[in-house]
Structure formats: C-alpha cells, structure tokens
Chains A and B, each alone.
Chain A
C-alpha cells in the first residue's frame, strides 16, 4: 500500500493495483483452526446423540411388547398376581385359586383357552362357585408368552413340569378366534374338559340388544352430527386420541356426554355430538357401550418407561401425592362403576392427553376434583409412562348381560 500512496509522481494510466502475497496473521489462523475443531466436535457430539437415540429406542422396543422375552414367573406377577394373589391362593369368594386348581392339572389346552378368551360366567373350582369375570389376554400376550406362562403355572401350582409348546397356543388361537368369553365353567367343560363337570349352569339371560334408534345413532349418526362408530370404531375400540369406549361404565359415559354439554369437559367435536342427543339417548348409548366387548388395539406408542408406569399405576408415589391408579380405578385398572372408568387397554395418546387436560382445566368434571390434583403431580415422563403401561393391559372383561352391567353400576 505504501508504495502506491507515496508511489511514483506520475503513475501510468494502465496501472493495476495489486497486493503481494502476505502470510495470514496468526490470530486469524487460530480462529480458523478453532472453528474447524469446533465443527468436528459438534459432528462427533451429534453422532453420539444419534447412537444414544438408537440405543434407547432399541431398549424401548425390546421392552415394549410387555417385555416379550419375560419368563413365566415375571409374566405371572405382572399379569395374574394382582387378582389371583402372588401365592396363587385367589381371593375367597371372589377370585378362584390357581394353587391346586383342577383347571391347571388337566389338559394344558384348558388354561390356554381361558387365557385366550377370558371367562364370563359362573365357574366351580373344587367346591366353590365363583362369578367369573376374567379378561381375555389374546390381544396382549403372544403365543410364546402364553406358552411360557401356562408352563410356569402348571409347574408351580399343579406339579405338571412338562413345558407347553407355543405351537399348541397358535393352533388353539386359530380354533377359538373371534369367540367371546367362555360362558362360565359349563361351556369350558363341555368343549374341552368333560372331567371338570359338573359346572354351574350359565343363566342365559337375554343379551341386551340395543334398540334400533340407538343403533342408528351408533352407526349412522343424526341429522346434526356424526355416527359414534365413525370415530370410535365398530366395536368402540377407538384409536390414538379417540378413546376406547367398549366396557366403560354406562353411568360414566352418560356423565361425560353431559359434561360436554355443560362445558366441564371441553371437546368441540363431542360437544356437537352431545348437543344433538336427548337425555334418554345419552343414557342408552352408555348402556350400549358398557356391554360392548372389543379386543385391545392399544399399543405403547409414546416411548414411555413401562416399568416406571407399572410402578405408578400399581404403587403410586405417596410422597409426591400420587396414589396408585388401581386404588380407585379397580384391580387391573378395569374401572369401578359408575364413577371410575376402566383405564386398561386405553390408547396411550388419549390417556396422556386427558392427564394433561386435567391440569390445563380443559377437563374439570371429576368427583371432588380428585384427578386435577393427581394430574398436577405427574410430569411429562410420568404421563407417558403411565399411558404406555396401561396400553399393555388386557381389555375390561365385560358383563355379558344387561343385568350384570346393572349390578356393576
């Protein structure tokens, strides 16, 4: 530069200014090197995040199908022990014992058939008659899991150490597909195990068929709104944020429809539906869905920690003010009519969104505002864990008759 400024007195017209080569100042060089290093570190950091993400997802997937490689003992404590008790003694007068039960000691097909279809009627175990309401596990346990569970049960409670093959479950599943719960011990004994007779007879009460007007609401809708089944599905099974309705208490369903009307539960689409219904129609729809039986189509989908969810649902966290869900919603979260809905087999997105709605106030129709307080104590990871765990549970065993549904109410 200097040469140009103090250059020759008469510079040539064609002179083109130029710069000579100069070394890059050390400071600039250091900044460039630092930036490059930073880039490499970020790349490395990101690749680590990807690796962590993949590993955690693989963990979650491995966890998800209810820990699909779980052995019979852990399946028993997760699936059976809440009702049949950890020592298999059952509950006197309510839940039949597994220990010493002739249903386990006979052919292996019998316990498999019970797990696949559930029981929905009176059953005699040894000398006691129980009013059977057992859920079907067909939609939440795989063939291998049922085989492992039955092998474990037979070895532990009936001294039959021979393991059961998954192929037997597969064959039986195909054979029994589509059936509803066993109509008590009588149907079971007649079909599979005559030696278990005599079994109490199943009182064939007339199945409560909904009247044509209610069926029209369910399948075609009204002039002003849509058919229930168009969102909730033909069996009331729901999907994602559309809740499963099958097996919820009748009174609970009717009360929710009222809540949409009076605004204590906010959902614009359901408010349109509720406005188009009369009081009698709301009650009739509750009765209809309370008796509907649908296999579970819910799957853990929020990436929640299932073990944490199980702990929250079964034990709660008392020092954080979170009671166990099952203390109000009943054993196995099957619901307690009329106030407490079943949570088992509910869709995780729906469960989580409702827990959030209790906090935001979009939903404010609980008795004594119980749920508002509980939901406030749950953080985002808790919500997802609870919702995902509940999705792994078997669906509510539904009373087969109108009379039974009334008992439960």
Chain B
C-alpha cells in the first residue's frame, strides 16, 4: 500500500471534522447556557430519586423529551411543550430516552401531581390500568402488620390489598416519587431557546 500518509491524514481529518461539528460545536453552544427561567434545581431527595430512576432503568421505556406539535401531539396529550436545551441544565447525565413504550415523563409532576397515586402505580400498575405492561416494583415497598409512625401506607383497591397488614413505601419509593413529582418543565421557553425546528415550513403548527 502506497500513499499511506495522505490516506491517514484524510481519514483523521474527516473524523476531526465530524467531531468538531457534532461534538465540540454543540458543546460550546450549550456550555454556558442558563437554565430556562423558572427551572429549579433538584432537591437532595429528588436527586436520590433520580438515582432510583436511573437504577430501575425507567429510561428504557420512558422518554423525557416532549416534541413540538408538527412532530407529535405531545402537548395535547398533556406531556407539555416541546423541550429546549436549557431544560436539561441540571440533568447530568440526561435521561432523554429513545423509547416510548410508556408515556413521556418530562412533565409528569404537573400531569400526575399525586404522591399517593404514584405509590399505588409503582407498587402495582395493574391496580389502576388493567392493560398496563409496566412492571410493578414491589421490592420498593414492604408489608407490615400495621403502619408505624411516619409510615406512608399505599392505598390499594380491595383486590390488590394483602390478605393482612398494610403495604408501606420504603424510602427509595418515596425518593423516586419525589423526583417524579418534581418533573415540571411547563414554564414558557424563551423564543430564542436552542431547540429542534426540524424542516418546518411557514404557517405549520408548531
């Protein structure tokens, strides 16, 4: 093989160009980005809940990136406005997700604000949605003969209640629910925020 030097230089050059355009450029663009006005950082409990979210693999079925109206009717589903880059300032690593086996969760805190609803649903999704394919997380809960002081009892329809005793949430479940309740990105995004405008034409819904 002759001319190995020019070949190598060109190959590395293409790689360097791609890295510049796809990695370095966007990184510079979002590095000093201020959070969306009104977006609050996570509390300590929410951060612990976020670790649970990662550990339980929620990201494999749930996305955290509502799309604009020209791509999907996410706003009408109640999933919130299209996400912009500055919504993710406090998310390291982000939990964008690629699968929507379940609904998007980026604004689940405003759509489903009830702690008790979430506890029921995490313990046994089919207690609410008979058709749900979401796994239950019974190991985040425990059965006690009676609730102690400070215990949070999970409210369950009769057919899902244990024969005796009550189901109470472990701290991990409460943390996870606090994180979910805190997911709220409904503050209006600035008009010039970095976002995906796709190939939208003038006058199309967005």
Q: A interface vs B, CB < 8 Å? A: 16, 18, 45-46, 49-50, 52-54, 56-58, 61, 64, 221-227, 230-231, 233, 239-242, 268-269, 272, 275-276, 299, 301-303, 349-350, 352-353, 356, 380-381, 383-384
Contacts and interface: CB of A to CB of B under 8 A. Distances in A.
A263 to B, nearest CB: 13
B38 to A, nearest CB: 12
A230 B111 contact: no
Q: Which of A53, A239, A352, A380 has the largest number of chain B CB atoms within 10 A?
A: A53
A303 B81 contact: yes
Contacts of A381: 205
A299 B189 CA distance: 13
A384 B76 contact: yes
Contacts of A272: 127-128, 157
Interface in B118-156: 120, 127-130, 155-156
Contacts of B75: 301-303, 349, 352, 384
Contacts of B81: 301-303
Nearest to A45: B199
Interface in B180-206: 186, 188, 191-192, 195, 197-202, 205-206
A226 B78 contact: no
Contact of A231 (B112, B192, B202): B112
Given A46-B199, A49-B197, A353 B155 contact: no
A275 B155 contact: no
Nearest to A300: B188
A302 B120 CA distance: 30
A172 B80 CA distance: 34
Given A45-B199, A241-B78, A380 B116 contact: no
Contacts of B120: 226
Q: How large is the interface on B (under 10, 10 to 19, 20 to 34, 35 or more residues)?
A: 35 or more
9 contacts: A52-B201, A61-B191, A221-B116, A224-B155, A225-B157, A241-B77, A301-B186, A352-B75, A384-B205
A230 B113 contact: yes
B177 to A, nearest CB: 11
Contacts of A231: 112-114, 117
Among B69, B78, B107, B156, max chain A CB count under 10 A is at: B78
Contacts of B156: 224
B76 A349 contact: yes
Interface string B74-114: 01111011000000000000000000000000010011111
Contact of A303 (B111, B155, B186, B205): B205
A302 B69 contact: yes
B80 A240 contact: yes
B48 interface: no
B205 A380 contact: yes
A223 B113 CA distance: 19
Contact of A230 (B116, B191, B195): B116
A356 B206 contact: no
Nearest to A356: B76
B191 A353 contact: no
B106 to A, nearest CB: 12
Contacts of A64: 188
Nearest to A350: B78
Nearest to A21: B3
A275 B157 contact: yes
Contacts of B77: 241, 349, 353
A45 B205 CA distance: 18
Contact of A49 (B113, B115, B198): B198
Contacts of A221: 116, 155
Given A222-B155, A231-B112, A303-B206, A54 B80 contact: no
B46 to A, nearest CB: 18
